[in-house]
Chain A
Amino acid sequence: MGEVIVITSGKGGVGKTTTTANLGTGIALQGKKVVLIDTDIGLRNLDVVMGLENRIVYDLVDVIEGSCRLKQALIKDKRFDGLFLLPAPQTRDKNSVAPHQMVSLCEELKKEYDYIIVDCPAGIEQGFKNAIAGADRAFVITTPEVSAVRDADRIIGLLEANEIRDPQLIVNRVRADMVKRGDMMSIEDIIDILAIGLIGVVPDDENIIISTNRGEPAVNDNKSTAGQAYRNITKRIIGEEVPFINLNGSDGLLAKMKKLFGIKPA
């Protein structure tokens, strides 16, 4: 029986789609079967971030309305074994899907896949309600900015109200240099405010833009620091214990020595 994870944030532009693409790819690289569902009806983007935009025939609403079989709508990613995408329609209304339909879809997918990752639209309206409907687990994405943290807090409240317990936090686009000089909230500051568990910290990394340009998730790029962070989160999802990358900009002497000699931090 698979597990459904919803990736949500409240605020737009903090990295939900990028995170969905990278975690999905990362889990597939670990040898699991994964389906990514884009629930952002009318503003789909997971397809371009994944580089699968030219292969869409059917979409989420076609499946829900029964215009096609589930198998027909799932796009198989030829680069990564066991990775599939269910795209959102671009020309439909977001009310074409109801929460109970998402629940049955997720139940169906759980029978055959190990992980179902749902990319949630920004906002707290119908699209959000649909995205979280079938979720067993939720990841809340934020960046170290007041607007994103505030919205994350609201989302955490709504998830709990919908009985999705213990959402876990991903802090995206962290800049160690700014944290060090006190111009960016640290991970501890954000956890202190939001009071939820942490599953990952992703550094600000220009490789994300480069990999998105190409439609190739950074998690598969060994030189990308964000990719490394996503690989770590992937391992935590499947149950491994991985220490967090230190992005506080306050490395101990040992870590500095290690850096000097090119030993990668854990």
Chain B
Amino acid sequence: MIDLFKFLKKKDSSKDVAKERLKLVLIHDRSNVSPQFLEMVKSEIIRVIQNYMEIDEETLDIQLTKTNSDDGERIVPALVANIPIKGMKNAGR
């Protein structure tokens, strides 16, 4: 019965969008992370990884986001880095 109503309901009600956006923005607000801070983390990571592999600095993406905790019961902040690898350096072999 309840599921039937859910099915009939519009997919993404605007309040769900609001809640999602808020949760995300509050992770930033609460952790006091500035764009400069993220830039610093980013350049450090690039420096370390470049010792071992060739990476595409242009498309490298690093951001603070959220993910499910290990027990799956909570949503926790996470630092997600997407680093495309072009090739391995000799030191890494």
Contact = CB atoms under 8 A, between A and B. Distances in A.
Interface of A: 144-146, 149-150, 153-154, 157, 179, 181-186, 189, 192-193
Interface of B: 9-10, 13-16, 18-19, 21-23, 25-26, 29-30
Contact of B14 (A183, A186, A192): A183
B23 to A, nearest CB: 7
A146 B19 CA distance: 8
Nearest to A189: B19
A144 B19 CA distance: 10
A189 B13 CA distance: 13
A149 B25 CA distance: 11
15 contacts: A146-B18, A150-B25, A150-B26, A153-B26, A153-B29, A179-B15, A181-B13, A182-B13, A182-B14, A182-B15, A183-B14, A184-B15, A185-B15, A185-B19, A193-B26
Nearest to A184: B15
A183 B22 contact: no
Interface of A is mostly: helix
Contacts of B21: 146
A179 B23 CA distance: 19
A152 to B, nearest CB: 10
Nearest to A153: B26
B15 to A, nearest CB: 5
A185 B23 CA distance: 13
Contacts of A179: 15
